[in-house]
Chain A
Amino acid sequence: MTASAIEVQLGPLRLKNPILTASGTFGYGLEFADFVDLSAIGGLCTKGLSLRPHAGNVPARICETPAGMLNAIGLQNVGVSAFAEEKLPRLRALGATTIANVWGDTEEDYVTVVAALEGVDGIAAIELNISCPNVEKGGMLFGNSPSATASLVARVRKATQRPLIVKLSPNAPDLVESARAASGAGADVLSLINTLVGMAIDAETARPRLSFGTGGLSGPAIKPIALRMVFQVARALPQVPLMGIGGISHLDDVLEFLAAGASAVQVGTANFKEPGVSGRLVKELETYCASRGVTVPSLIGRAHRFGQDREAGAEG
């Protein structure tokens, strides 16, 4: 079995394997160099980059919840210039496949950040964050309306030659419509899902545990929802390559998302708990394919050949 058994092609984006790491859970990649061979994973999505450095929300910013966590970090990041000058050269030296995750308050902000990265070497793709639930404006605004999504994606599309990934919000009123809008406006790949808006309250004091009030829920708790959403978008838009995200930490999780129709996955919150998880999953997937004599592309979308017996007279 050659290494190519685990290679995947997502539109114009060719990846050595389908295991990536999700934005906001992998810093700028360099923080993981002690734990993961960055050249061995399919790719890494950077912390969301904005035009200027951004301080983020006041603490408390995180709290643990059953099988997951809530965060309201508020997109703290070093800004696109510092990323390109200080982080990216080191990522290139380590052989990382770097996907720049980008956000802004206005369409103009997004376009400016993407344009600033256009002449820079070492970026494999752009991922648009149109779905951060933890900032007052921007982010969420673009993800919650298909027309706003389409307008933003169309403008960014003109600003970059690179593969363009749009990260969808599970909080959008109609996910399939959002997916259709992003794809129709020129997105090459869709990644889903971002976090779900949630809340935690201290039972004793009745005070919300996050200073922002609400936060984004992630971790194994959201996996069934993420899996359903990937399945649903894959069914509606079978020609659009998808990256699945949501509670992935075991090989079975990867196999399930591939079966639901994702061509690749992003590992998120599990990076906090097990910093080496992405490298481990690459090895486990390689072993799985070799022992079964299968390729990753042959594992994509397999769940769709089963019917859904929804009328069968069962109650409950």
Chain B
Amino acid sequence: MKSDHQAILVGRECFSPGLFSVTFEAGDLASRVVPGQFAMLEIPERIRPYLRRAYSVADANPARGTVEFLVKTVGPGTRALEELTDRSAVRLLAPLGNGFSNTDLKAGCSVAIVGGGIGAAPFPLLLRKLSAANVASDLFLGGRRAADLAFRSRFSGAGAASTHLATEDGSLGHKGFVTEIFREAARRKKYDRVFACGPMPMFAALAPIVHELGLQAEFSTEADMGCGFGVCLGCVIPGAEKPFIVSCTEGPILPPERIAWERLRP
């Protein structure tokens, strides 16, 4: 059940300018959250941003009672989070959303995990859960330039069987898109499932690839959210079987075939 947690900042790590992680003590949240779920975070006493912001839970440590978020500074909300001092209090409405379906995968299965930029945020927890279940994960990370992937150290030790990198400017790994290196790998190896998170253009490129290869996939979709629990109806995504999918409660994890790609706002 979701609840509004008082959380205390207990750790931070800076990967590159504007790319960081923050860790909060948040009661029993760490033991209740599953990979792919998110929190609506509020920094109290701030008029800007006025609304809470949605952040995927990057990792959780039930023994310590901590949850971690990977963040890229893009505006006033993320900047306020970056400037937060040690032991500051925030409010976390969580856990929200459906989460990835990873628990039905049997030992010996293999999956691909595809992340675009800060879209990789929910993957450390997912990788660790998969690794604990003896599911082999190939991790594919892409960004515009090397600095966008400065957080990749956060993934070493999380249990990926292999890691493949791509940057648009060629400053790290393959020169080009992450979807290109994923496609090459997926042609050689039959993945039991593909988990992906990134910007909508990456999803738009990935959807036809998984369709063509007949792969089962789950995308962690991105939409501006006003509330995070199904009330404001601001975060809807055009649906294939019905007009709109409410991203925060019916998602954010959705199979690509449920999304009406042609009706997405360009």
Q: Footprint of B on A, CB under 8 Å? A: 25-27, 31-32, 34-35, 55-56, 58-64, 66-69, 71, 73, 76, 211, 219-220, 271-276
Q: Which listed residue, B47, B230, B234, B238, touches A62 by the CB 8 Å rule? A: B234
**B244:A55 contact, CB within 8 angstroms:** yes
Please, which residues of chain A bring their CB within 8 A of the CB of B93?
A: 275
Known: A58-B265, A73-B234. A64 touches B50 (CB 8 A): yes
Complex CA distance for A21 and B223, rounded to whole angstroms = 25
Complex CA distance for A26 and B48, rounded to whole angstroms = 22
**B231:A26 contact, CB within 8 angstroms:** yes
Instruction: Name 28 A/B residue pairs within 8 A (Cβ), A-sorted.
Output: A25-B232, A27-B230, A32-B231, A35-B3, A35-B4, A56-B236, A56-B244, A58-B263, A59-B235, A59-B244, A59-B265, A60-B265, A61-B234, A62-B232, A63-B224, A64-B50, A67-B47, A69-B51, A71-B234, A211-B265, A219-B50, A220-B50, A272-B51, A272-B231, A272-B232, A273-B52, A274-B4, A275-B93
> Could you tell me the distance in whole angstroms from the C-beta of A133 to the nearest C-beta in chain B?
16
**B50:A34 contact, CB within 8 angstroms:** no
Q: Which listed residue, A27, A34, A64, touches B51 by the CB 8 Å rule? A: A64
Complex CA distance for A67 and B3, rounded to whole angstroms = 25
> Could you tell me the distance in whole angstroms from the C-beta of A240 to the nearest C-beta in chain B?
30
| Residues B195-250 near A (CB distance < 8 A) | 223-224, 226-227, 229-238, 243-244
> Could you tell me the distance in whole angstroms from the C-beta of A208 to the nearest C-beta in chain B?
11
Complex CA distance for A42 and B42, rounded to whole angstroms = 27
Q: A25-B231, A55-B243, A271-B227 are known; give 4 further A-B pairs, CB within 8 A.
A: A35-B3, A64-B50, A271-B231, A274-B42
B-side binding surface: helix, strand, loop or mixed?
Answer: loop
4 cross-chain pairs, A with B, having the tightest CB-CB distances, nearest first? A62-B234, A55-B243, A272-B227, A27-B231
Q: Which listed residue, A27, A60, A76, A220, touches B224 by the CB 8 Å rule? A: A60
Please, which residues of chain A bring their CB within 8 A of the CB of B236?
A: 56, 59, 61, 76
Q: Footprint of A on B, CB under 8 Å? A: 1-4, 42, 47-52, 93, 223-224, 226-227, 229-238, 243-244, 263, 265
Complex CA distance for A60 and B266, rounded to whole angstroms = 11
**B52:A73 contact, CB within 8 angstroms:** no
With both beta carbons as reference points, the residue of chain A lying nearest to B91 in the complex is identified as A274
With both beta carbons as reference points, the residue of chain B lying nearest to A32 in the complex is identified as B231
**B233:A76 contact, CB within 8 angstroms:** yes
**B233:A56 contact, CB within 8 angstroms:** yes
**B48:A69 contact, CB within 8 angstroms:** no
Please, which residues of chain B bring their CB within 8 A of the CB of A55?
A: 243-244
Known: A25-B231, A71-B232, A271-B231. A62 touches B226 (CB 8 A): yes
Complex CA distance for A271 and B233, rounded to whole angstroms = 13
Known: A31-B231, A61-B236, A63-B224. A220 touches B47 (CB 8 A): yes
**A62:B50 contact, CB within 8 angstroms:** no
> Could you tell me the distance in whole angstroms from the C-beta of B265 to the nearest C-beta in chain A?
6
Complex CA distance for A59 and B224, rounded to whole angstroms = 10
**A59:B223 contact, CB within 8 angstroms:** yes
With both beta carbons as reference points, the residue of chain A lying nearest to B232 in the complex is identified as A272
Complex CA distance for A58 and B47, rounded to whole angstroms = 28
Complex CA distance for A276 and B223, rounded to whole angstroms = 24
Q: Which listed residue, A68, A73, A220, touches B233 by the CB 8 Å rule? A: A73
> Could you tell me the distance in whole angstroms from the C-beta of B80 to the nearest C-beta in chain A?
13
> Could you tell me the distance in whole angstroms from the C-beta of A34 to the nearest C-beta in chain B?
6
**B51:A275 contact, CB within 8 angstroms:** no
Complex CA distance for A275 and B237, rounded to whole angstroms = 23
Complex CA distance for A26 and B50, rounded to whole angstroms = 18
**A273:B50 contact, CB within 8 angstroms:** yes
**A272:B237 contact, CB within 8 angstroms:** no
Please, which residues of chain A bring their CB within 8 A of the CB of B265?
A: 58-60, 211
Known: A34-B2, A62-B224. A275 touches B233 (CB 8 A): no
**A69:B237 contact, CB within 8 angstroms:** no
Please, which residues of chain B bring their CB within 8 A of the CB of A73?
A: 232-234
Known: A34-B1, A55-B243, A276-B4. A64 touches B49 (CB 8 A): yes
Complex CA distance for A220 and B49, rounded to whole angstroms = 12
Complex CA distance for A62 and B226, rounded to whole angstroms = 7
Complex CA distance for A56 and B263, rounded to whole angstroms = 14
> Could you tell me the distance in whole angstroms from the C-beta of B245 to the nearest C-beta in chain A?
10
With both beta carbons as reference points, the residue of chain A lying nearest to B243 in the complex is identified as A55
Q: Which listed residue, A58, A66, A274, A275, touches B238 by the CB 8 Å rule? A: A58
Please, which residues of chain A bring their CB within 8 A of the CB of B42?
A: 273-274
Complex CA distance for A239 and B224, rounded to whole angstroms = 43
Of A60, A63, A64, A274, which is in contact with the most chain B CB atoms at under 10 Å from its CB?
A: A64
Please, which residues of chain A bring their CB within 8 A of the CB of B238?
A: 58-59
